[in-house]
Amino acid sequence: MFESIENLGMIEASAREFAQKHILPKVMEWDEAQHFPVDVMKELGKLGFLGVLVPHEYGGSGLGYQEYITILTEIGKVCGSIGLSVAAHNSLCTGHIMAFGNEVQKSKYLPLLASGEFIGAWGLTEANTGSDAMRMKCVAIKDGDHYVLNGSKNWITHGKSGDVAVVLARTGELLDSRGITAFIVERGTPGFRAGKKENKLGMRASETAEIIFEDCRVHESQVLGQVGDGFIQAMKVLDGGRISIAALSLGIAKGAYEASVKYAKEREQFGQPIANFQAISFKLADMATRIQAAELLTRQAADLKNNGKKVTEAGAMAKYYASEVCVYASNEAVQIFGGYGYTKDFPVEKYYRDSKLCTIGEGTSEIQKLVISRSILKEQ
């Protein structure tokens, strides 16, 4: 399944070392302040972690999805917020341009994104259209050789700090799957600005904000692919993006599990380590088993993606299961830590807060079940 176990091992070690040295010391400081560390993202860009899937000719690392999963898992084990930002940058903004951009667009933007010189954002969701994306109200009206964008997008990762955004806007009729178009919009374009930054339960160091368009003129050369293909493109981008969230979920789950094993061996009650008690050891056994199953689903989806095969069902299964395991593992971790698990002096309360977004972002668990069930019934 894996292209090179040795290569994966080197990448894993590199990601782990970076996370331990540059992220771990600041995790709680960033979380408390809701600070998005752009400087750390730039350093990740220098390592090649912001252009993991981008080919060498566009300044990327030219790696595959197995390596990508490994990087996200190692970062997620230390900080879900930074893992989320790396995932959104790679899979959504960069991934959309890589998959559907023309040669001029790819040559211009991919090197900037892969190096971390540009931070990427991706705008699909609106205040009243989360899962129901075809009812979007953000519109783009043709005016000569430009499109005029009006409306807003919500829950946008890097909505304030992003240098470039891929934005989905309606160019046709409401509910028409061929009536939505993708645009590349650079920060600084007149009429394009950031709005409210969200105050979140978890993933607090990953910036999430509204972006607003007021008579924002975007040249037709900034259209990604064909006019009207935006929704179809977005669904394909999300297929790959769901593998990202599965990998991030794995990282958070593994972080919570590893912290639990360590604590269970050290914490003593009734004259012995709590790991000796079946109530605790069985929790660890369940966590380990579910995490391994989630990883196998995620690695399988990555293998299909690497080989150019249809990944809609496999990606949805991986994202659905891994994200739910992430919530389960972090919840059990807090229970194992007891009262200490409820304090910010120990790491598991942050895993607990960060985990929930994984069941919501890039398609809720309910949407994943819808995707999976439709795929199953289509096969009959």
Domain endpoint, select from 119, 138, 168: 119
Q: What is the pLDDT of residue 2?
A: 38
Could you tell me the CATH number of the domain that includes residue 323?
Answer: 1.20.140.10
Q: Are residues 190 and 315 in the same domain?
A: no
Q: What is the pLDDT of residue 184?
A: 98
Q: Are residues 275 and 159 in the same domain?
A: no
Q: Are residues 104 and 128 in the same domain?
A: no
Burial class of 35 by CB neighbour count within 10 A (0 to 12, 13 to 18, 19+):
middle
180: three-class secondary structure by DSSP: strand
Q: Are residues 94 and 216 in the same domain?
A: no
C-alpha span between 237 and 59 (Å, rounded): 21
Q: Which residues contact 63 (CB under 8 A, 6 or more apart)?
A: 11, 48, 52, 53
Please indicate, yes or no, whether the overall pTM of this predicted structure exceeds 0.75. Answer: yes
Q: How many other C-beta atoms are found inside a 10 Å radius of the C-beta of residue 263?
A: 22
The one catalytic residue in 6, 362, 366, 379 is: 362
Helical (H) or strand (E) element with 213: strand 208-219
> Which tokens is 65 given?
């999805």
Domain that holds residue 54: 5-119
Could you tell me the CATH number of the domain that includes residue 9?
Answer: 1.10.540.10
> Which tokens is 163 given?
């240098």
Q: Are residues 255 and 360 in the same domain?
A: yes
Using alpha carbons, select from 325, 256, 247, 330 the residue that is nearest to residue 291.
Answer: 325
Q: What is the pLDDT of residue 158?
A: 98
Domain endpoint, select from 181, 207, 229: 229
Q: Are residues 114 and 147 in the same domain?
A: no
Q: State how far Cα 139 lies from the chain centre.
A: 26
Could you tell me the CATH number of the domain that includes residue 143?
Answer: 2.40.110.10
Q: State how far Cα 229 lies from the chain centre.
A: 23
Domain count, the chain: 3
Q: Are residues 350 and 277 in the same domain?
A: yes
Q: What is the pLDDT of residue 175?
A: 86
Q: Is 362 a catalytic residue?
A: yes
C-alpha span between 166 and 186 (Å, rounded): 9
In angstroms, what CA-CA distances link 310 with 87, 255, 301, 345?
21, 31, 9, 44
Given a contact cutoff of 8 angstroms between Cβ atoms, the answer to whether 72 and 88 are in contact is: no
DSSP 283: H
Q: Are residues 47 and 100 in the same domain?
A: yes
Q: Are residues 223 and 145 in the same domain?
A: yes
Q: Are residues 138 and 97 in the same domain?
A: no
Q: Are residues 248 and 375 in the same domain?
A: yes
With a cut of 50, which residues of the chain have pLDDT below it? 1-3
In angstroms, what CA-CA distances link 231 with 120, 125, 206?
19, 12, 25
Q: Are residues 155 and 73 in the same domain?
A: no
Domain endpoint, select from 73, 95, 119: 119
